[in-house]
Amino acid sequence: MNMLKRKSPFELRNIRLFIAFRVFFNSRFYYPVFTILFLDFGLSLEQFALLNAFWAATIVLLEVPSGALADIIGRKNLLVVAGSLMVAEMTLLSIVPRGNAGLLFAAFLLNRVFSGAAEAAASGADEALAYDTLHKEGLAAEWPRVLERQMRLQSISFMVVTSLGAAVYDPHLMQLAGGWLGLNIHFTQAVTLRFPIYLTLGMAILTLVTTLRMRETPFPSDRHGETSPARAFRLTMDAGRWIIRTPFALVVILGGLLFDSCIRMVITLTSQYYRIIRLPEASFGLIGSALAVLGIFVPRVALRMSQRRSPAFNMAIMAGLTILGLTGMSFVWPLIGLLPLALVWIVMYLQAFFQSHYLNRITASQQRATVLSFKGLSFNLAYGLMGILYSILLAFLRSTGGDSTRISSGVAFENLVYIRSLTWFPWCFLAATGAFVFYARWKMKGSDQHKTAG
């Protein structure tokens, strides 16, 4: 019997380029030294916090409008913009001189704005282009496989980037490497300071080249050549109304928001957690690489869960893992405390996979990028709100702690405040989960979307 061989999704040019874009765009070699990089340039901790507030504000302001723009002018065009902005942001840090405080802060501020704009431009447009490429070829059902491959390769890349970025930043390690290679160069922190930046600039160039090689996939639209801001605003409002009127879409986004906002705040503070559980700073990059190994295996598990289990079952598993992880972290066990941290990392990988899988499956092509941008906007808003609430919690714990909370083992008061704050996370997550389950059951009552979306 002569049967036609089914085309693999990885034979498609846009799918291969989508995976490459995700890998290159997220290969930021400065991530393991992010905070100290800013400080070593000469900025203060207050300026660092302010700059990242500008970064988050830029994403929030541009997230959804950029998604609507992608659905109007084309997804490829917006991805080219994202690649160009990444090149611009890293070029700024590569050439800005040190010493002039005013010029330095202005350059870093522009860098954060460019970075946020690039994140907003890429968010939604890359998935929309890739998914519509599959849909055009009749391979939409293969999207989970594409996600699994993309997440695994990105995790492998993250392992390399984290280890190499931390290594090239260390002048002592670079001096040893230079001596081994026979180089007569004296490496100082002023010299190695920009090495992670130069490497990331290389990734930015590869990102831009990747977007230029993509091909726009025609998708249904009623734009009729109109690309005005009014059209973008109308498309944004239409997508927002669709989300509100589509119970499953709304519940999926709210569910992802529940996990992302809480866990991302915990992950943001991991360097402090590492110190508390008595891990040497030299091991931070290696630990990040080890946690990235989870991203190689978890997507495959997520793929099987999406094929065999319902969304409700998958969320229940994620909720259980999250509570176990957050509770375990609150005990701050020396060394073994890495195990509960690994659990919350697993949940983040699962959440990212399920969000993309379920939302792309039910969203119409003409508003796919806008809907995905709505998801990104809600996540960043929730994360910002969580940051404000966490700051209030820390202030409360400081005011109620007093000098009597210092302990004889030498743990600083700030460290103890942080430890006490960890005990709040499992209870807050449990309360938020209860509210979400109650709302989701009410919202999905009478709707059969959940029966067909898994």
For the domain that residue 366 is a member of, what is the CATH number? 1.20.1250.20
Confidence tier at 45 by pLDDT (50, 70, 90): low
Confidence tier at 312 by pLDDT (50, 70, 90): very high
- Confirm whether 2 is domain-assigned: no
Query: How much is the pLDDT for 454?
Result: 43
Query: How much is the pLDDT for 401?
Result: 64
Confidence tier at 406 by pLDDT (50, 70, 90): very low
Give Cβ neighbours of residue 452 (< 8 Å, ≥ 6 apart).
none
Same domain, 213 and 321: no
Query: How much is the pLDDT for 233?
Result: 65
- Confirm whether 261 is domain-assigned: yes
Residue 347 has pLDDT above 90, yes or no: yes
Query: How much is the pLDDT for 345?
Result: 94
- Confirm whether 180 is domain-assigned: yes
Residue 131 one-letter amino acid: Y
Query: How much is the pLDDT for 69?
Result: 73
Q: Decide if 222 contacts 354 (C-beta within 8 A).
A: no
Residue 71 has pLDDT above 90, yes or no: no
For 3, counting Cβ atoms within 10 Å of its Cβ (0-12 exposed, 13-18 middle, 19+ buried), the class is exposed
Same domain, 190 and 236: no
- Confirm whether 7 is domain-assigned: no
- Confirm whether 260 is domain-assigned: yes
Asked which of 164-178, 408-422, 432-446 is least confident by mean pLDDT, the reply is 408-422
Q: How far is it, in rounded angstroms, from Cα 126 to Cα 147?
A: 12
Secondary structure element (H or E) that encloses residue 149, with its range: helix 143-169
Same domain, 190 and 255: no
Q: Decide if 151 contacts 353 (C-beta within 8 A).
A: yes
Confidence tier at 224 by pLDDT (50, 70, 90): very low
Q: How far is it, in rounded angstroms, from Cα 132 to Cα 210?
A: 18
Could you tell me the residue range of the domain that residue 360 belongs to?
231-454
Query: How much is the pLDDT for 372?
Result: 78
Confidence tier at 202 by pLDDT (50, 70, 90): very high
Query: How much is the pLDDT for 348?
Result: 93
Secondary structure element (H or E) that encloses residue 312, with its range: helix 311-330
- Confirm whether 363 is domain-assigned: yes
Same domain, 169 and 288: no
Query: How much is the pLDDT for 450?
Result: 46
Which has more pLDDT, 228 or 149?
149
Same domain, 158 and 303: no
193, 218, 243 — which closes off a domain? 218
Q: How far is it, in rounded angstroms, from Cα 165 to Cα 31?
A: 7
Query: How much is the pLDDT for 407?
Result: 43
Residue 163 has pLDDT above 90, yes or no: no
Residue 1 has pLDDT above 90, yes or no: no
Give the total number of structural domains in the chain: 2
Same domain, 145 and 241: no
Between helix 311-330 and helix 413-422 the angle, nearest 10°, is 150
Same domain, 303 and 356: yes
**Greatest mean pLDDT range, 72-81, 107-116, 188-197, 232-241:** 107-116
Q: What is the mean pLDDT of the chain?
A: 84
What is the tens place of the pLDDT at every residue in 255-287? 999 998 889 888 877 767 887 888 766 577 778
Query: How much is the pLDDT for 209?
Result: 97
- The structure tokens 């941008």 sit at 373
Tell me how many degrees the CA angle 423-428-432 measures, rounded to the nearest 5: 160
- Confirm whether 77 is domain-assigned: yes
218, 247, 282 — which closes off a domain? 218
Same domain, 248 and 356: yes
Confidence tier at 340 by pLDDT (50, 70, 90): very high
Total-model pTM: 0.72
Asked which of 18-22, 127-131, 292-296 is least confident by mean pLDDT, the reply is 292-296
Same domain, 249 and 177: no
Give the mean model confidence (pLDDT) for residues 84-112: 93
Give the mean model confidence (pLDDT) for residues 201-214: 97
Same domain, 291 and 404: yes
Q: Decide if 427 contacts 322 (C-beta within 8 A).
A: no
Same domain, 177 and 276: no
189, 218, 247 — which closes off a domain? 218
Residue 449 has pLDDT above 90, yes or no: no
Which has more pLDDT, 160 or 240?
160
Confidence tier at 123 by pLDDT (50, 70, 90): confident
Same domain, 358 and 241: yes
Q: Decide if 94 contacts 197 (C-beta within 8 A).
A: yes
Q: How many helices (H) and strands (E) does the chain have?
A: 21, 0
Confidence tier at 228 by pLDDT (50, 70, 90): low
